[in-house]
Structure 1
C-alpha cells in the first residue's frame, strides 16, 4: 500500500477550494497546458486528459509514455465520474483496497482503479462537469499536479488570462 501524506479531510477541502465559476473548451486547453508547464521535463512521461461533460477536450501523451497509461487514465476517470470526488479521495477512503472498493460499488477492477491523479472539475453551485487526469508519476504527485494546474487556471481566470465563457 502506498502511504499518502494527505488526509481525507485535506483532499475534500482541496476539492472545495478548486471550484470554478466557469469552464469552457478554451479553459480545458489552458488547464491541460498548465499541467504540462508545471510538470516541465517530467511531461515526457505523462499522459494528460481533460474532459468536460464526458467529452475529451485535451489529450497529450508524452514521448516516453506507454499504452497502459491510457487505460490507467480511463480507470481513474471512471472512479471520479462515479463519485464526483478525486481518485485520491477514494484511494484514502478505501485505504487503497481496490478489491473492497470494487465489491462495495459493484464495479470491475478492469474498469475502475484506486490511484491518485484524477481530479473533478466542479463549478460553484453546479457540481462536477469534468475531469483532469494525469498518469506517469506517483499517485500523490499526479494528484498534486492536477491540483496545482486547476489552481493556476483559477488565477488565470481571475486575471482574465483564460476564457471565462461557459
Structure 2
C-alpha cells in the first residue's frame, strides 16, 4: 500500500467517525436528497442519487446522462455499506490496505455487492446506522466526495440552526 493510499484510507475513516447525525427521518431524507439533486443539476453531473432508511428506499432520482447501470452500481454499493456498516469506499480501501481484493476475498456475490465509492452510512448519534445516502455515475472517489460534501453541509446547516 502506498503512502497516498494510506492517507486516503485514513481520511475516509475520519469522515466515517465525523459524519454522525442527530435524528434523521424521511423528511430529512427528502431535503438532503433534493439538495444533492439540485447541486448535481447545476454541476451537470450524470448521476443517480439514492437514500435509504432501514430497508426502504425513501429517495431516488436519476439525472440526465445517467443510466440503469448507475442504478445497479448504487444498489450494489448500498448493500456493501449496509453489510459492513461503513462507507462503500472505506470497505474497498480497507480490503486493498490488507493486500486483499474485495471481489474475491469478501466471498460475496459481485453481482450484488460492490466495494466502490459512493455510498455512505447514515449514522445517528446514540442509535447507530439507520440508512444510507449514495450516488453513482462519477469515478468512485468523486462519488464518495460528493456525498461527504453534502453530509458535511447538512451537519453545518444544523449547527447553524442551533447557534
> So what's the TM-score if we normalise by structure 2?
0.86
* 8 Å Cα contact 1:133/1:146 also seen in 2: yes
Q: Match for residue 112 of structure 2?
A: 111
Mark the runs of 5 or more structure 1 residues left unpaired by the alignment: 162-166
Corresponding residue number in structure 1 for 2:139: 138
- 1:42-96 per-residue CA deviation (whole Å, 9 max, x = no partner) reads 4551100011112111111012211111100000001000001101101211229
Instruction: Give RMSD over aligned pairs.
Output: 2.4
Of structures 1 and 2, the one scoring higher in RCO (CA 8 A, sep 6+) is 1
2:121 is paired with a residue whose SS is strand
Contact 1:38 1:149 in 2 (8 A): no
Q: What is the aligned length? A: 158
For structure 2, the 5+ residue unaligned runs are none
SS where residue 8 of structure 1 aligns? helix
Question: 1:76 & 1:134 partners in 2: Cα distance?
Answer: 9
Counterpart for residue 46 of structure 2: 45
Matched, 1:150 2:130: no
Matched, 1:71 2:72: yes
TM-score by length of 1: 0.85
1:44/1:12 CA distance change after superposition, 3 Å? closer
2:101 aligned counterpart, secondary structure: helix
CA-CA distance at 1:31 after TM superposition: 1.2
Assess, with a 3 A threshold, how the Cα gap between structure 1 residues 82 and 8 changes in structure 2: closer, same or farther. same
**Using a 3 Å threshold, how does the CA distance of structure 1 residues 117 and 36 change in structure 2: closer, same or farther?**
same
Cα distance in structure 2, aligned partners of 1:80 and 1:6: 21
